[in-house]
Amino acid sequence: MTLPKHVRIVEVGPRDGLQNESEPVSTAIKIELIDRLAAAGFAEIEAASFVSPRWVPQMADGSAVMAGIRRRPGVRYSALVPNLRGLEGAIAAGVDEVVVFGAASESFSQRNINCSIAESMERFRPVAAAAKQAGLSLRGSVSCALGCPFEGSVAPSAVADVVARLADLGCDYIDIADTIGVATPNQVFPAFEAATRQFPLERLSAHFHDTHGQAIANVMAALQCGVTIFHSSIAGLGGCPYAPGATGNVATEDLLYLLQGLGISTGVDLEATVAIGQWISERLGRRATTRAGNALASRQARLAASRLAATQTAVPSPCTSVCTIDPKTGRCAGCGRTLDQIANWSVMSNDEKLAVLATLPS
């Protein structure tokens, strides 16, 4: 089995991950999340969305987010834009790449952007032209490429059709997205085979949601297809406001753990990524949706506790010989401890031992 030696990861947590959060996430937290991700080695971060706040209120602060981040050389910051007005906002905010989108399902296209697939592509034509004129990288995303919440299965030919239309717009990269997370590996192969007939494989990316627990299996299938660009979301954040039942993207921690185990380089620090996933999950008030991330975080916590314990000098027993219990007082005649305190001494923390000693007669 031949697999790529290096994979590029597009971290979509700050945009695709947070857009579905029901409670407002502060601009400051979004900025810190992006800065932490960049520091961990992510070279491509989907940072914002310039859509109407009426449709996606969580993304209303895109300009403020872009203005607040500490830009790192070599990091490409992208944003979703649905129209020319959104593009103008993205250009003013200084994004490096803009993302347009088209569904492989007519029903999803109507529900998501209120027009047919063909109409959506024509709407994006002036957006694409203006983005290229501004010198921005242009990425297209094929939504519901592997399943639709309204139509069910999606034919590979439908995927190929949208890929061809996005290529005609001048897209530099195109995502094949399992928006609702229903695909299994046997659907991944024909979808990418169809897509590569319209667009170079090295510029196609895989975007898998994990609704049915198949995202990592689908990543493996895409790797076998030769895909070298993958989207993921820190702590498994995400969903889609217009795709009923869709849960988060494949967790970045799980993806990195798989790739590291396969000997595939990414340039991203796994340990730092795990810490970021735990941090943002705490800020959102819930446990991270990542098996590898949570397991590694638990292990790191145990190791830290063990290292701390090793640096502390144990509090010795106050008795220099075997304790002798006085039947009248129920305490040791030598040190004054109770029978329970003597019995539990070996499992007490240093603070608990010191608290006991403070109660004993000097």
Closest CA to 216 of 179, 183, 263: 183
C-alpha gyration radius of the chain: 27
252 contact partners, CB below 8 Å, separation of at least 6: 9, 11, 13, 232, 233, 234, 235, 273, 277, 290, 293
CB atoms inside a 10 Å sphere around CB 103: 28
CA 336 to chain centre: 56
For residue 179, give the H/E element and its range. Answer: none
Closest CA to 211 of 178, 249, 247, 253: 247
Closest CA to 104 of 174, 9, 11: 174
Identify whether 240 is a catalytic site residue. Answer: yes
Tell me the DSSP string of 13-49: IIIIIGGG-SS---HHHHHHHHHHHHHTT-SEEEEEE
d(CA 257, CA 324): 56
Q: Which of 225, 240, 323, 335 does the annotation list as catalytic?
A: 240
Tokens matching residue 325: 């219990």
CA 342 to chain centre: 49
Answer whether 111's CB lies under 8 Å from 242's CB: yes
Strands 331-332 and 325-326: antiparallel
Residues with catalytic annotation? 240
